[in-house]
Amino acid sequence: MDVRVIGLTGGIASGKSTFAAELRALGAPVVDADQLARAAVARGSAGLAAVVGAFGAEVLGEDGQLDRRRMAARVFSDPAARARLEAIVHPTVRALFRKELARLAARGEPLAFYDVPLLYEAGLEREVELVVVVWTPREVQLRRLAARDGLSRPEAEARLAAQTPLDEKAARADAVVANDGAPAALAGKAARLLSDLRAGLTRRLPNAAAPRY
């Protein structure tokens, strides 16, 4: 049996991870792309050896693992470097994802969410059945980000400026989860979304409005 793959994305401090946790609490499988990316460059892996070959041993921490902060600093403002890193990591991530889907199919799971922060940026909307975007107002997003990471407002604004705006992602989505109220409300929204998916919710038609939760 094929597993329906539902893309789940959002933006920094949008509440996507909290919503993913609510989906898991309801028994829905959620595959975390960030976890797959970490596994792709785990200590001793061929992926990590390739990263060191491309960027040098200075991207390693004292424990021999990839220092993600150093790596991020190397590629943040260098598109060519970022492309080299993605060429190393992405094929392994895709292979790990296929392996996880096979495991879920063998277990009889009808659907799974693929939690990908940069889903649209990576062009992965073509590889999932539909895309769910967790959206929050920009001002709320700024406040959450500044409080969470101890940033000044200008620093938080710079972080957001480096990402595709949430409003733009929501405009492209097949379904939008509005995280603009109490965090506890996300549990009910997760339940309603799952119910609709099990009832046949699929990719929205062109020019049709995406359902909002």
Binding residues: 13-18
Backbone angles phi and psi of 3, in degrees to 5: -95, 130
- CA-only gyration radius of the chain, Å: 18
Chain-centre distance of CA 194, in angstroms?
Answer: 18
Binding site, annotated residues for ATP = 13-18
Tokens representing 151?
């940033």
d(C-alpha 167, C-alpha 195), whole Å: 25
Burial class (CB in 10 A: 0-12, 13-18, 19+), 140: middle
Please state whether beta strands 130-135 and 175-178 pair in parallel, antiparallel, or not at all (unpaired): parallel
Q: Residue 124 carries which DSSP code? A: G
